[in-house]
Amino acid sequence: MCMFCHCDETKASTTTHVVTFEDCVVVIKNVPCLECVQCGESFFTDSVMENLDKIVNQARKTMGEVVITDYSRSIAA
């Protein structure tokens, strides 16, 4: 169930996830998600959230101002 509009229906989709911290922005494209068919809000499974945490932690180590990556390429590495 969607936490925002309480719709019971979602569909498989992809989204772009953006994380900002201190002086760095991490953009992760093509992240698998469930999307609410009514309001469009995106939700991640637990395994996708774990992978996003790993990707963001790795990006933080690069110390770049902006890091842009693709989800599928990042979890394969």
* pLDDT tens track for 48-70: 999 999 999 888 887 678 989 99
Nearest-angstrom CA–CA distance, 60 and 68? 12
10-76 CATH fold: Ubiquitin-like (UB roll) (3.10.20)
Mean pLDDT of the chain: 90
CA distances from 74 to 1, 59, 69 (A): 29, 10, 7
pTM: 0.85
Ordered by start, the domain boundaries in the chain are: 10-76
